[in-house]
Amino acid sequence: MSKSQIKKELDNLLVQYNQGSISEQQYYERANPLIDKLSDLYSEVVWTYEAHNNTY
């Protein structure tokens, strides 16, 4: 799943929550794994950048 797909899914979840289609609990249950994936993707980018530039 790409960053843009994750962001789109998070946006959709927020819309569903704001419309009352899903509860706060459902929002968090669905959003947290996506946020974790997004965090992992950004961590990989930082790690790759640091490794490429030898800045540890």
Residue-range domain boundaries for the chain: 3-53
What pLDDT does residue 41 have? Answer: 86
Q: Check: CB of residue 30 under 8 Å from CB of residue 16.
A: no
Q: Is the pLDDT of residue 5 over 70?
A: yes
Quick one: pLDDT band at residue 4, thresholds 50, 70, 90? very high
Residue 33: C-alpha distances to residues 17, 38, 48, 51, 56 (Å)? 16, 9, 23, 27, 28
Q: Tell me: the pLDDT tens digits for 8-54?
A: 999 999 999 999 999 999 999 999 999 999 998 888 766 665 666 66
